[in-house]
Chain A
Amino acid sequence: MGFSMLAPEYRVDRDKDRCIDCKVCVTQCPYDVHYFDEEEEKVFAREENCVNCHRCVVLCPTRALIIRKYPLEFRENSAWKDIDIRQLQKQAETGGILLSGMGNPKPLPVFWDKILLNASQVTNPSIDPLREPMELKTFLGRKPERLEIGCDGSLKTKISPQLELSAPVMFSAMSFGSISLNACRVLAEAAEQLGIYYNTGEGGLHQSLFKFADHTVVQVASGRFGVNSEYLKIGAGIEIKIGQGAKPGIGGHLPGEKVREEVAATRMIPLGTDAISPAPHHDIYSIEDLRQLIFALKEASDYEKPVSVKIAAVHNVAAIASGIARAGADIITIDGFRGGTGAAPTRIRDNVGIPIEFAISAVDNRLKEEGIRNQVSVVAAGSIRNSADIVKAVALGADAVYIGTAALLAMGCHLCRKCYMGKCSWGIATQQPHLVKRLNPEIGRERLVNLITGWKHEIKEILGGMGINAIDSLRGNRHMLRGVDLSSRELDILGIKAAGE
């Protein structure tokens, strides 16, 4: 690129007392930052290319590298912050829509951090999960209105198909194409080992992952990529994707350069063609249309799989969720405005949608008011960062959560948010063979399994502290939550009391 007004975003600090010019940084940087000057026999950096992915920092054998924010400052201005000026400069240079990867990074309130959990003291005993049984098992799917038991004690009520989770957490929809096959493999293997599920996203199911089908939720989205009869029958559940938290109202676009042989075959599209998912499903213009698709998919899978409908958390989420429940969905997945993505228009990602915390309570309230809460399970997604967030989500009314960003972080992602460039230095959001192999699925799986195993222990500890011995007893139990630094209106919507009340 020629002249640019854009100053570098990051500075590469190389400690010359430590650097041994081994060139590991040079071989590892996919953004062409580090280079070795043969004449000088030294490693240098083109800082303007740095995206702060930490690949060089982590692999540097002498810890000689630190990436810092570029210290150049614009003249102070409260209205025009650095990021605003830089984005404008970038757009003036390119004339394009600004693209972003991962979730909304803006300093909007994280309501999880404004919600505090309860614990037992004196009057009700807490439970020690190391000594007493503690149940995290979660079933997702339509629950019966009542149970009928026969004279011989057998269950007469026919139970709708359910997903059985060892803990209320699943791996979010991330397609093969947006992430590498190795990354998909990590999700699949970890889901199997943990007794939970991962979601294929709109990328179809690669042949090599068929063996994990019992732990796979197959997605059907507006582009219908990779959808066929076998795909629908093989998964444990089916999800219709209407919207995504990072880009509500927007479709998807997988650039042709990522559509290599395996992606093309899995998505059932020609090699090298752009995979464009339209913004709407062109056969869904009403709840009645959605009902048709839900039942078409149920018919195609012999009514053996629960069908989920995934929507972004938007203003009327409660009414929409009610419609979805009445359309026959077994699970409603709601993706909050901080949810991740491989690529989204920056303005959409940063400005559209509502926080998942409000969406969960609004939907849970509405479904309870209408007496149809049992007909659907609610899965919350978008910005679940740790086990405490899961506990809070469940207490607000979610049945389970999806984690995407957290799962990728466990695999090695460093949240540099350049997924859309297709050059992920950690081998996750890329299809380039020399980068894909950087994610050894064996290591990724171990790390992801470790994460969820740790979370399970933590959830049990938290539940025990509250004197609860099953996650089911926490579901929608908002008495266990108190708000800090929230307006009374916000507390009302969340359905929780203020701290001290």
Chain B
Amino acid sequence: MKRIYAREEYCVGCRLCEIFCVVGHSKSKDIIKTYKKEPDRPAPRVAVWEDGPLSFAFQCRHCDQPSCVEACITGALSKNEEGTVLCNEDKCVGCWTCITVCPFGAIQREEGEKKKIVKCNLCSGEPEPYCVSHCPNRAIVYEERGVE
């Protein structure tokens, strides 16, 4: 399946991926409206990890055998036909089991009062995930690399 890969050698640590991830999951999908007028705007599903000059964007790996899906107590997490691990928000009860079992730490809690998790959904419906299309240095790519 097509996955998002980080190229840490070109990540400039600008965090535009995080900013546009929020825009991509916002109501308006307009950057200024999202940040100025949506107080309950979504949390970013991607995070830039940084240590000195090393930095890279990180989000859900959409594992072939996802522990989060196995561990989910309500069946909110599932892997669809394309292989994308998705969360059905209506079913998520915020037990955080998936957060504890994810070997990568790729799942976050939604910001604010909402007791739900947030995770990357590869921007379903978009030709390319927002983080990938808005990276200024091609440090995040969305491609098919076959079996790993």
Question: Which residues of A line the B interface, CB within 8 A?
Answer: 17-18, 20, 22-24, 27-28, 58-59, 61-62, 432-434, 437-438, 440, 442-443
Contact = CB atoms under 8 A, between A and B. Distances in A.
Where chain B touches its partner, the secondary structure class is loop
Contacts of A18: 32
A443 B138 contact: yes
B53 A22 contact: no
B9 A24 contact: no
B13 interface: yes
B1 interface: no
A208 B14 CA distance: 28
Given A18-B32, A20-B35, A20-B36, A437 B15 contact: no
A20 B12 CA distance: 20
B137 interface: yes
B118 interface: no
Contact of A23 (B15, B32, B52, B136): B15
- Top 5 A-B pairs ranked by shortest CB distance? A20-B35, A434-B53, A433-B53, A440-B10, A440-B137
A437 B12 contact: yes
Query: How many of chain B's residues touch chain A, expressed as a range?
Result: 20 to 34
A440 B20 contact: no
A443 B137 contact: yes
Contacts of B36: 20
Contacts of B9: 437
A438 B137 contact: yes
B53 A28 contact: no
Interface in B1-31: 9-16, 19-20, 31
B10 A62 contact: no
B139 interface: yes
A434 B137 CA distance: 13
B20 to A, nearest CB: 7
B16 A437 contact: no
B137 A61 contact: no
Contact of A28 (B10, B14, B20, B138): B14
Contact of A442 (B11, B20, B138): B138
Given A24-B19, A28-B14, A59-B136, A437 B32 contact: no
